Structure 1
Amino acid sequence: MWTEQASGSGTRRRRERSPEEELHTTQDGWWQMTLRALRTLLLFSIILGLSLLLWGYVFQGCGPSPCKTSVCQDLLDLYLASGNTSVAPCTDFFSFACGNINRTGSPFQALAEENKRRVRRILETPGSWRLAPGEEKAFEFYNSCMNMSAIEAAGASPFRQVIEELGGWSIFGNWTPLDFNQTLSLLMSQYGHFPFFRAYLKPLPTPPYLPVIQIDQPELDVLLKQKQEPNYAQILREYLSYLNRLVTLLGGDPTKVGNDASYSLFINSQLNQFLRPGEQQQAQGKVFEMVTIDQLQVPRAKGWGKMGIKRVAPAIDWLSCLQATFAPMSLSPSYRVAVHDLEYLKNMSQLIEKDLMKHRDFLQSHIIFGLVKTLSPALDSQFQEAHRSLSQKVGELTGRPPMVRTAGEEFFQPVHPRWMTCVEKTEAFFEPTLATLFIKETFKPSTHSAAMELFTTIKDTFISHLHTVPWMDRETRAEAQDRLTQLQVKMGPSEWALKPDPARQEYDDVQLGPSFLQTFLSCVRSRQARVIQGFLQPFSSHRWQVLPWGLKASYSIPDHVMVFPAGLLQPPFFHPGYPRAVNFGAAGSIMARELLHIFDQLLLPGGCPACDTRALQKALLCLERLYAALPSPKGTSFNVSRTLLEDAADAGALAIALKAYKKRLVLFRGETILPNLDLSPRQLFFRSYAQVMCRDPSTQDPQDIRSPPTLRVHGPLSDSPAFTTHFRCPQGALLNPPSRCQLW
């Protein structure tokens, strides 16, 4: 039934419902609400499922997958061979990563040798390269060096000819004494031999960074310091035996050389007493002093020269010797040279004046003995074997194994194969040619772009990281950020290794033959001439060069340029196909360390007046105590205060490289790991960092400014909270100390 109800000006009709209809309507409403709830739940489930699927694609899809390429397999083999996984990583990570280093050797040493093998392959396949006129002489020199049958057939005859050019030898009975300074000039300019001091061209390390002649202590054959050597008498006997053998090889009578050999030992011993370690020079604040040639020169009257200047080393005719060595440079008495140890020159000069000039025949013998060592790579193998045997025996008696310096690093190397000697000498004499060929062979565009990308990430991370350095004031922080922003980097080759160079293309002054020794000496003179000509060119383009096969990154202060040589950016430290964790942990930490060294001055006393000195000193002291609390390897000792700058760079480099790696993971997915190593990506990062430091701790030089390798691993890791987290180090473990430092 319908009823009408007034509503304003109109009417509205309403139908009354029965109880059954009301119940049915209520049920329909409930059902509609249930359907809406189910639809909402279904929609939410779909969205959740899609979200989980998307999360799995983005995050799980970029999760670690095994790298199965050949370069990764080679790296895995190295890690498995060098490490000792039975050691707890939180207690001794060095042994965990490097416990079998005696079996695999230092990765730096292995890489240096591999770079030599790369150069060897270049030199043994000349037909593979398009050579400019004259460049074939590099390959001819190498072949002559490897032709040991011809060198053995010549025997000592080529060297006996050199002795005649120096006036002969009393032991041979045909000596015509030359003036001492005339002999010294010949040795320095024609034979590259510096028996009493070294003289070389190099830019000064202080403004205005001009190239200058520098005079330094000599590199003596055997260090004879009686008070410091418990087996001093036995060392003397071995050295006398060696000198007797040289005389026999040269065709002389060893029974007539006793006094000459004894006097040579006396000279060596005296010069050793005068030597002052570079560390001591730095401690005294006298790395070098600028003096004029006139101040070193032979005086016209005894004692004092012009204007009351006392002569430092009057026994040497400095002007004539240096002019002969560095011609065509024009030198004068007023020319200023950099002397690294004036006291040494003074004592050396007095020794020559008081004792040696009275025994010129003995002095001549000493010079000839030393010249044999300098020219030994070009002589009969018996000369090389004699010196190698001496080095080995002296090493056994002193407890210091014979070391060789390769690519800027020092390594133990008991055997030096002939091909490696020939490669090193060819590199030295034909450096411009081989530098270009080495770059073409080893540093592809993909390697260059990947290395630049890595460096840019490290540098940008460091710039942003400066905001967290607690002791740095705002102005210093801004200046540091500007310096990093303006820094130039040369990744792999420098311009000089890529641009055509007339000296590289011609080598007109290199004469090959008739004997290998004469070829060798011609190359010695040619190289010296190129060095001098380079320094006479515009200063900016010839200030410094980094060898592409080297392993040491370099920073030029005046140019504000950092160079990472191609030889360093190779496996096992870097490869475009490596897991990012490896590249950031190894090469990335090396790059970060070099960047930090730019700011070493800030850490020195008074180096940052505006900084929070108290906070800086607190952080330095904290780091010093952190390293002092770590156990040193047996048989090694080090001075924490001496290694502090390097320790700071190591710890800071690890933190910056790790931060950069995390940043990279956020931006890019698809991380890989090394299979069968059972390490997560972040664990692999720390493992790769440690691998860079792997070397035998017993080979550590006591004068090294870096900590022993065990501490270079344990120090930074114990200062890293992330290491403790990712390796789940328990409280009280060696590498989980109760407190940490923040210097960088």
Structure 2
Amino acid sequence: MSETPIEPEPQPSPQPSSQPEPDRGLQPPPLLQLPLPPEALCQAQQEIQLQSELQLRPVSQQPHLSSQSESQPESLPELQPQPQLGEEAKSAWINHRRLLLLLLGSSLYAAILGLLYYTQQDLRTESTGIKQAGTVTPCLSPACQRASARLSTSVDPFTQPCDYFLFTCGSDSPAPATGGRQRSEGISSIPQGQRKRAVRSERKRGSQQRKNTSLREDRKTALLQYLREILESNNGSTGPAVQKAKGFYHSCLDTRSIETAGAEPFLTLIQKLGGWAGSGQWNQTDFNSTLSLLMRDYSTFPFFNLYVGKDPNEIARGTTRKYIQIDQPDLLIPIEWNSKTQKSQAETQTLRPFLALSQRYLALLGAPSSSSDRHVGIFIALSSELAVAAAPLPHRLLKGQLYQRMTIQELQTQAPAIDWLRCLQTAFHPHPISQEDHVLLHNLPYIVQMSRVIRKWLNRHELSSSGPLHTYMVLNLLHTFTPALDSRFSETDRNFSVALGNTDGVAPRWKRCVLETEKGFDSILTHLLDERIAHREAEEIVLNIFSSFKSKLVDLKWRDQTSQQFVMNKIQSLTPRLWTETEIPSEAELDQLFSKVTVSAHGYFSNYIQLLSLQQKRRNKLFTQTEGADILSVTPFLLGNEVIFPMGMFVPPLFHPTYPRAMNYAVLGSLIAKDILHLLLPDIHSQSETVQAVGECVWAHYLTVTEKTGRGGASALSAAQQQEVWVQYSALQIALQAYHQSLKKHPGDTSLSGFSHIHLFLTSFSQVNCDSDPYREFLPLEPSFLITVICAKSELCPTSLQCPNKTQQHLLPSC
């Protein structure tokens, strides 16, 4: 949908600060400093003019000329040469003529100097991008029109400088440093009329945000939305593999066909596996045979999890070998950890909802009511026994239970109920596996206990006809296939989730379908995404942000030389780069790879079975191939000596090649800067004195502006809060400096909604920082408040953000 941008508003010109600046403890980067104000240049110009005037006359005549010009200003028009005058009159005429010529020359000289000054100022203005909105070209692309519509729903910080710090992006979470009060309570510290205006603005903004939540949602949602547009479009690649991926996605959206099919496709699958005792028809299939098929063909792991990965103990030695990893399963029954007994147990308050879930499952599968209760009881009992040996990750890490190495033959001795060689060979077919191969276990006590439980239930002859282990596997298989079944199954899962206290809303169908498509067709989606990414623009912003980041480190005050040298060597050894098309299969390679996959237009269940098979093949490839960047990744990561930036970062609404660069750098640039700081400097607070100083400085601005200085709620910041304030503020500075670097190389930029350059940059920054932030809990103020700090002592901003009733704000230092 395309919206028409709002009418451009005149942009105020930058005004120099009238207040003298105190000594700055922390200087901003050189690129953030502006030229001298016009008053200083004007004074210098007058001094140069006076010097030139005095040098044009002999020294003996300078006092006489000065007195004469001051005493007889009105006689100049009458000074015309008269032939009747004597030598004295002629001499006077010559003197006055020289004076007149001198004045005219001085005026011409001053005019030339002024013209040169304003020409230089205009060139400087163009080089830094701080120009009037009317002199730049507005961006009218479809992407910019949508961005303009989103921007119009935001509050321009420069039109409401006194209220701007009150806005909270609609968040109801209390600030850690305000004693539990809501951030919006700052409204009470301003006059009544202004408070009402702020409340009305906040309510209006909240209503607008509910209408348009795309920018408030996280970056993953933005990527999923972009992938949705790709899957629903008819542009780009049209090869067989691409059509299969799109066909799978559309069959997922075809809820009418899914509802019509009901549970019948799953019941047919059960019969293929030998039936089950719950329906009264079961041919008593072999336990290990059924388990192997579930793992290989249907990605279902009822008793333990399997995946492929490296041994971290070998990574330091440069070994790239991959091992089968065996972990405890994701149990269906909710469990809780008992720290006293050091064991897990089923949660008492959740047993009743879990019982209702199990009963509903059997009813939907058509199990006779006469035997349903018995099967449900067996399922819950078996689940509870398996849960006892499960343990949370922190406990296993503390006990050294992760990455325990042993051969498959040794594992067979430890847990004999499972035919390990047979199961692993089937699950990872066609990868060769032998008894001497090593595997890595992540909870050996659970594996041993699981084997004992299975052997006990296999030897209970009175239950042999009930097939308790087989029923347990069937219900786990049902959980795997719930996304491919009609709404009755998903509603059952939803009711159980609500009973456990989960109040999250249901994800829209399109989002679920994009996620399911990615599980099996990730390489195709990566190819489609790569076709649409503007690689040159993305690479430019990454390199400029990384360069600005490195220059920021130079300005830090380190606690000791060792820390500085360690961090600088680490950063200098890294190279930033995009995850480019060199690692992505071509369309022909994809067609070959998916040649045996068939997709039905109205058979989502059969398509889903093929999806699970594709997942198994994807898992097997990890033995021989380096795992690529996850297509759903939206943050940078380290790969050797490279900082990799996934393509999923460079999608609308956060980035678009047609956006004004001010918007791209403010939005995605600031996010990239934060990502880099968190990735590469996780513990910078312990190594640099600057972190604490900047954190305290920004916090002082916040306390002064919100008038909380000296109040009980204004506590000092913790070390984690100081670091996060420094990270967020530094990210803004880094992005702004990178934007200036971009303008130096390519002068000129477009405008949006009547805003351009710094005005657009800061307004866009305020909007994107209403986005969710994984580190938000450590930030005691709104990210958009950082604009008031950077504008407090800077002439970069279009207008001042100082409030008249905040008399102490101008006394605060620059941060």
Which TM bucket (shorter chain)?
A: 0.7 to 0.9
Q: Kindly provide the CA deviation profile for residues 351-394 of structure 1, in whole angstroms up to 9, marking residues without a partner as x.
A: 55567875673333332222112112333343233323433x33
Q: Say whether the 8 Å CA contact 1:193–1:374 is kept in structure 2.
A: yes
TM-score, normalisation: structure 2: 0.68
2:325 counterpart (199, 210, 214): 214
Question: Which residue in the other structure is 1:253 paired with?
Answer: 368
Looking at structure 1, the residues matched to 762 and 332 of structure 2 have their Cα atoms a distance apart, in angstroms, of 41
Residue of structure 2 in register with 1:78 after alignment: 150
Q: Give 1:532 deviation, angstroms.
A: 1.7
- 1:532-574 residue CA offsets vs partner (Å, 9 max, x unmatched): 235324xxxx232331xx3512323325241231x32122211
2:95 alignment partner, one of 19, 22, 29: 29
Q: Which moved more, 1:158-167 or 1:333-342?
A: 333-342
Q: How does 1:623-634 map to 2 (within 5 A)?
A: none
In the superposition, relative to structure 1, how do residues 712 and 129 fare at CA in structure 2: closer, same or farther (>3 Å)?
farther
| Aligned residues of 2:637 and 2:644 also touching (Cα < 8 A) | yes
Counterpart of 1:589 in structure 2 is: 670
User: Which segment drifts farther, 315-324 or 261-270?
Assistant: 261-270
Residue 133 of structure 2 corresponds to residue 65 of structure 1 = yes
Instruction: For 2:388 and 2:697, locate their aligned partners in 1 and report how far apart those are by CA, in whole Å.
Output: 36
Query: In the TM superposition, what are the counterparts of 1:348-427 in structure 2 within 5 Å?
Result: 348-349=450-451, 352=454, 358=460, 361-391=467-497, 393-394=498-499, 398=501, 400-402=502-504, 413-417=505-509, 419-427=510-518
Q: 1:191 Cα deviation (Å)? A: 1.0
Q: Structure 1: which amino acid aligns with 2:652?
A: P
Query: Which ranges in structure 1 are unaligned for 5 or more consecutive residues?
Result: 1-17, 300-310, 403-412, 606-612, 632-638, 698-704
Give the direction of change, closer, same or farther, for the CA distance of 1:544–1:251 in structure 2 (3 Å limit). Answer: same
Cα deviation per residue 1:211-265 (whole Å; 9 max; x = unaligned)? 333334434456454999xx97774444333332322222222452224334434
Q: Structure 1 residue 135: deviation in Å? A: 5.3
Matches within 5 A, 1:584-733: 584-600=665-681, 603=684, 615=689, 649-664=727-742, 669-671=747-749, 674-675=752-753, 681-682=757-758, 684-694=760-770, 706-708=775-777, 711=780, 713-714=782-783, 717=786, 721-722=790-791, 728-729=801-802
> Does the 8 Å contact 1:319/1:333 carry over to 2?
yes
Aligned residue type for 2:537: A
| Contact in 2 for aligned 1:554/1:562 (Cα 8 Å) | yes
CA distance in 2, matches of 1:353, 1:626: 66
Report how far residue 435 of structure 1 moved.
Answer: 2.4
* Distance in structure 1 (CA, Å) of the matches to 2:297 and 2:639: 33
Aligned with 2:651: secondary structure? Answer: coil
Which of 36, 47, 51 lines up with 2:113 in the alignment? 47
Shift of 1:498: 4.8
Residue 526 of structure 1 corresponds to 614
- Return the TM-score normalized by structure 1: 0.73
Paired residues of 1:72 and 1:674 also in contact (CA < 8 A): yes
Q: Secondary structure at the match of 1:195?
A: coil
How high is the sequence identity, in percent, across the aligned residues?
26
**Separation (CA, whole Å) in 1 of partners of 2:273 and 2:165:** 63
Distance 1:273 1:588 in 2: 48
Alignment of 1:159-558 (within 5 A): 159-203=266-310, 206-207=315-316, 208=318, 210=320, 211-221=322-332, 223-225=334-336, 235-266=350-381, 276-278=391-393, 284=398, 288-294=402-408, 297-299=411-413, 311=414, 315-342=417-444, 344-345=446-447, 348-349=450-451, 352=454, 358=460, 361-391=467-497, 393-394=498-499, 398=501, 400-402=502-504, 413-417=505-509, 419-440=510-531, 442-443=532-533, 447-471=534-558, 477=564, 480=567, 484=571, 487-491=574-578, 493-499=580-586, 502=589, 504-511=591-598, 516-533=604-621, 535-537=623-625, 542-547=626-631, 550-558=632-640
d(CA) in 1 for partners of 2:296, 2:214: 37
1:354 and 1:390 map into 2 onto residues whose CA distance is 30
Q: SS at the partner of 2:503?
A: coil
Number of residue equivalences: 659
SS in 1 for 2:423: helix
Task: Classify the secondary structure of the residue corresponding to 1:654.
Answer: helix
What amino acid sits opposite 2:103 in the alignment?
Answer: A
Equivalent position SS for 1:298: helix
The 2-side partners of 1:215 and 1:627 are apart by 53
Deviation digits for residues 58-86 of structure 1 (CA, Å, limit 9, x no counterpart): 52785142745243342233244466988
472 and 269 in structure 1: CA distance in 2 versus 1, 3 angstrom threshold? farther
- Quick one: distance in 2 between partners of 1:258 and 1:640? 55
**Residues 127/518 of structure 1: CA separation in 2 closer, same or farther (3 Å cut):** same
Distance 1:172 1:473 in 2: 73
Contact 1:619 1:741 in 2 (8 A): no
Once the two structures are TM-superposed, the CA of residue 525 in structure 1 deviates from its matched residue by 1.8
Which stretch of the first structure deviates more once superposed, 185-194 or 162-171?
A: 162-171
Q: Distance in 2 between matches of 1:365 and 1:623?
A: 63
Change (3 A) 1:346 1:558: farther
Are the counterparts in 2 of residues 106 and 696 from structure 1 also a CA contact under 8 Å?
no
Q: Distance in 2 between matches of 1:287 and 1:740?
A: 53
Which secondary structure state, in structure 2, belongs to the residue aligned with residue 471 of structure 1?
coil
User: For the aligned residues, what is the CA RMSD?
Assistant: 4.8
- CA spacing shift, 1:497–1:614, aligned 2, 3 Å: closer
SS in 1 for 2:306: strand
Instruction: Give per-residue Cα distances to partners, 1:81-119, cap 9 Å, x unaligned.
Output: 466988923344545998555543353747655654554
In the alignment, the residues of structure 2 paired with residue 348 and residue 48 of structure 1 have an alpha-carbon distance, to the nearest angstrom, of 88
C-alpha separation between the residues in 1 aligned to 2:378 and 2:734? Answer: 56
Report the alpha carbon displacement of residue 292 of structure 1 after superposing the two structures with TM. 1.9
Q: Is the 8 A contact 2:130 2:757 kept in 1?
A: no
Aligned with 1:463: secondary structure? Answer: helix
Partner of 2:54: none
Distance 1:271 1:116, change over 3 A: same
1:665-715 per-residue CA deviation (whole Å, 9 max, x = no partner) reads 566554555437xx7854654443454443579xxxxxxx73339758449
Paired residue secondary structure (1:218): coil
Which residue number in structure 2 is paired with residue 576 of structure 1?
A: 657
Provide the rounded CA distance (Å) in 1 between the counterparts of 2:405 and 2:788. 46
3-state SS of paired residue (1:675): coil
SS at match of 2:281: coil
**Aligned 8 A contact 2:483 2:490 in 1:** yes
Partner of 2:412, secondary structure, is coil
